[in-house]
Amino acid sequence: MSLNPQLRDWKGKTVWLVGASTGIGRATASALHAAGAHVVVSARQAGLLNEFVATHPGSHALALDVMDGPALQAAVAAIGSIDLCVYCAGYYRPMGATSFDLAEARRHLDINYIGALNLLDALLPLLLTSGQGHLSLVSSVAGYRGLPKALAYGPAKAALTHLAEALYLDLHPRGVGVSVIHPGFVTTPMTAQNDFKMPAEISPEQAAKAMLAGWAAGEFEIHFPKRFTRLMKLLRLLGDGAYFKLAGKANR
């Protein structure tokens, strides 16, 4: 069942990807450009954004930091009408209780969650006034349940997922689409830090393809690859004792 308007024809549509310098964000920007969308990419690294623009004619770059509210406000004003906004800014460092670092934990929260709130502050008036458009937040299966080495990353992504659910309840009746993305392991600079074999690992291009398919189907939750994310969903149904025993084995 479609929970959102189905986004299939991208020609003439304006899409803004926040956090598009590398990884999933960049690959998705490229896929949307190939589908005919007018693509605007944002991130802190202006050089990488300019490289994208140079190889994707007609796209535009707006370098900014998601912690800079005025910059986000200015970007919204500069872009004007926005048919799809994707928040794919992310930050990850492995962390457990024995290596807890408050500054690092706050950085995870800032980039993975507070930055999305800053975006909302800039974007919501436009979406509510126009009564159209779509907001998509890139979370992670790490937000489903507590995982080893995700003491900082998992809670921030769980908050982002919860935010998307609450936004859907408020914005769907007003004609605005909302979706949340739950990737499994995707080959990116962030996951390159992992010192373990990542099950069902996919490329950023495969992730982008799955995201476009989810938007085309009008899904609220877009998760991939299914062979892995369905297993993660099953783990959410386990009782605490069984889950902690299983997850604890993976932490050894």
How large is the C-alpha radius of gyration of the chain? 18
Q: Are 16 and 79 spatial neighbours (Cβ–Cβ below 8 Å)?
A: yes
Buried/exposed 116-141: b ≥16 CB within 10 Å, e otherwise: bebbbebbbebbeeeeebbbbbbbbb
Active site residues per annotation: 153
